[in-house]
Structure 1
Amino acid sequence: MASSSSPPSVNWADLPPELTFSILLRLSTVEILKNAQLVCRSWRRVCKDPWMFRKIDMRNNSIFDYDRMCRHAVDLSEGGMVEINMEHFGNDALFSYIVEKSSNLRCLRLEMSHLQTAEGFVNAFTKLPFLEDLEILHGFLEFDLKSIGQSCPLLTTLKLNSPCFSRHMSLDDEALAIAETMPKLRHLELFENRLTDSGLNAILDNCLHLEHLDIRRCFNINFFGDLEKRCSERIRDLKRPDDSTADYPFDVISDTDADLFEVDSLFYYDSDGSPYYF
């Protein structure tokens, strides 16, 4: 009987550079900088290729020195970064550094840090004229969405997720800013937004290319008149206020958890603007 032989071992350092590149692209930016580049010299050379950092993923929560690591990744991209995903870290100085070095940025996904200010955040967008895809998760910061729309005329996707309601803005401020400055939108997500039927009508009137609309937990929308018909006829993929949030990627505050927040943050509003509680 022929003896079975063990499969030959793989010397990872001897892999062709293009194969190594393809493998390492599947890692997050944090994994590349913390681990992969330390494996061997050939991997380190690949990890310094600017193409490795065209898309920067900073979602790993296991380290603390995100600022330094993020700046290093941006530097390694040599101005070629087109996409960045950041969670729970950063301040005005870091965000300014990113946009100064990455004027060709096309896609920004950001879970905002409490260290960012509204002014610093909005000012950075004046340097991102090619931005097409913007996703923001925030629950504490009021910023000028109209200025962002004016600075980024190519926006086709906006995902604005606000798990806590602003108590200082009018109900439809954000909806009207979107309607006025983002006519090229095809994909719009306004999770837990306070917009009313009036704001939604304005979006439908002005965003004529809109195909995907997610307004889950936007409980000020009542679909009066022909509004629901307009949505059904215009929007190919529509998620309504009461639709399931099972596939939503972030934590959703249930009605039974509402008492954990300040009382005046728990308003919903009738169509006439009068508040009611959960």
Structure 2
Amino acid sequence: MEKKKKARLCSDSSSSQSHGEERVSQTCSCWEGLSPEILALIFVRLPPDEMARRVPFVCRSWRETVAGPYCWTEIDIEKWCRRCNRSEIIDPAVRYLVRRSKGTVRFLSAYKLGNRTFAFIASFGKCLKVLKIPMSQVIDKIVVEHAGSLSMLTVLDISYCVKITSKGLEALGKHCKSLIHLRRNMPPPEIELGSKAVEDEAMAVANTMPGLLHLELGYGLFSDHGLDAILTKCKALCHLDIQGCWGVKMEGDLEERCERIMFFRSPWDDDEYDDASSSDSGSDGQGDKSGSSSDYSD
């Protein structure tokens, strides 16, 4: 009798294990059977670095999905870039992910990019609508050469890009006719008594970006003349931020015109910008060493 019970227990255990393996197999086959488009909708909820480093090693279908363009229409790695804070790692990582999009990238948010990477992004930029690259070291020459490839842009953040001047802004304005949101906040300048206002950037915005709804020009060097041009030509503005633009005196009817805008931040508003608190300040200048070149490869 005891032998029969043991045999029955062994049989039940074996059967249970078999059913368990079968359920696991069915679950795996269900996941593997999903189309790349469906899998991508799930994977994009993961942080990009996790998606690039972990997902490909689960199974073949997951690897093929992550290697394809479906997961990379929106690339938001600014937080990772700030943690890494090393251009020699950030630049190849961004190029690697943009290449995976195969020209379908619509949203890109990164940090501290160089000239080569900006040019590379532009070459894949036929669908790009949102580009956020604060603190980048891109120069005017590269912007002028490649602005024509970014004609679909509606949102642009080039805050703290100190090597881009009015020449680069003008090129972007001429080619990006759909632009409605420009963020161009700069570091607080060292202004000497009697120094002249610099109107070039304000005039470039006014003359080439009349469709703007949202404009941030924190710590710009322009005066009332530049502000007047912006208010005159950018008639659709509903958000204007000129914090720290100390050359603006708000004389004449400028204050009244600014108050008509739904959101207006004056030159004397003392709120701090997020960019300043999350840039190089507070670190030893070397960045977070946890960012590894193995996270992405070019």
Give the shorter-chain TM-score range: 0.7 to 0.9
Relative to structure 2, which stretch is displaced further, 59-68 or 169-178?
Answer: 59-68
Per the alignment, residue 147 of structure 1 pairs with: 171
Q: Aligned equivalents of 1:183 and 1:139: distance in 2? A: 22
Per the alignment, residue 38 of structure 1 pairs with: 57
Secondary structure of 1:176's partner? helix
Q: Which has the higher helix share?
A: 2
Q: Aligned equivalents of 1:131 and 1:86: distance in 2? A: 16
Per the alignment, residue 68 of structure 1 pairs with: 92
Per the alignment, residue 237 of structure 1 pairs with: 263
Compute the displacement of 1:126 (Å). Answer: 1.8
Choose which of 113, 122, 135 in structure 2 pairs with 1:112: 135
- Aligned ranges 1:22-101 → 2 under 5 Å: 22-59=41-78, 60=80, 61-62=83-84, 65-88=89-112, 90-101=113-124
**Runs of 4 or more off by more than 6 Å in structure 1?**
166-169
Do 2:115 and 2:142's aligned partners in 1 also have CA atoms closer than 8 Å?
Answer: yes
Q: Percentage identity across aligned positions?
A: 30
Q: Aligned equivalents of 1:45 and 1:169: distance in 2? A: 58
> Max radius of gyration: which structure?
2
Instruction: Give the unaligned 5+ runs of structure 1.
Output: 1-9, 254-278
Per the alignment, residue 160 of structure 2 pairs with: 138
1:112–1:252 CA distance, 2 compared to 1 (3 A): closer
RMSD of aligned Cα (Å): 2.8
Compute the displacement of 1:31 (Å). Answer: 2.8
- Aligned ranges 1:79-228 → 2 under 5 Å: 79-88=103-112, 90-114=113-137, 116-138=138-160, 140-143=162-165, 144=167, 145-165=169-189, 171-228=198-255
Per the alignment, residue 250 of structure 1 pairs with: 275
Secondary structure of 2:275's partner? coil
Q: Aligned equivalents of 1:166 and 1:103: distance in 2? A: 39
- TM-score normalised by the chain length of structure 1: 0.76
Do 1:52 and 1:77's aligned partners in 2 also have CA atoms closer than 8 Å?
Answer: yes
Secondary structure of 2:276's partner? coil
Compute the displacement of 1:125 (Å). Answer: 1.0
Compute the displacement of 1:37 (Å). Answer: 2.7
Q: Aligned equivalents of 2:190 and 2:218: distance in 1? A: 13
Q: Aligned equivalents of 2:59 and 2:90: distance in 1? A: 24
Compute the displacement of 1:20 (Å). Answer: 4.5
Q: Which has the higher contact order (CA 8 A, sep 6+)?
A: 2
Q: Which has the higher strand share?
A: 1
Do 1:139 and 1:165's aligned partners in 2 also have CA atoms closer than 8 Å?
Answer: no
Which digits, 9 at most, give the CA deviation of each residue in 1:99-134, with x for residues without a partner?
1122221111012333x3221133221211111111
Q: Aligned equivalents of 1:169 and 1:141: distance in 2? A: 20
Q: How many pairs align?
A: 241
Secondary structure of 1:99's partner? helix
Instruction: Give the unaligned 5+ runs of structure 2.
Output: 1-22, 279-298
Q: In structure 2, give the amino acid aligned to 1:243.
A: D
Q: In structure 2, give the amino acid aligned to 1:112.
A: M
1:139–1:101 CA distance, 2 compared to 1 (3 A): closer
1:139–1:109 CA distance, 2 compared to 1 (3 A): closer
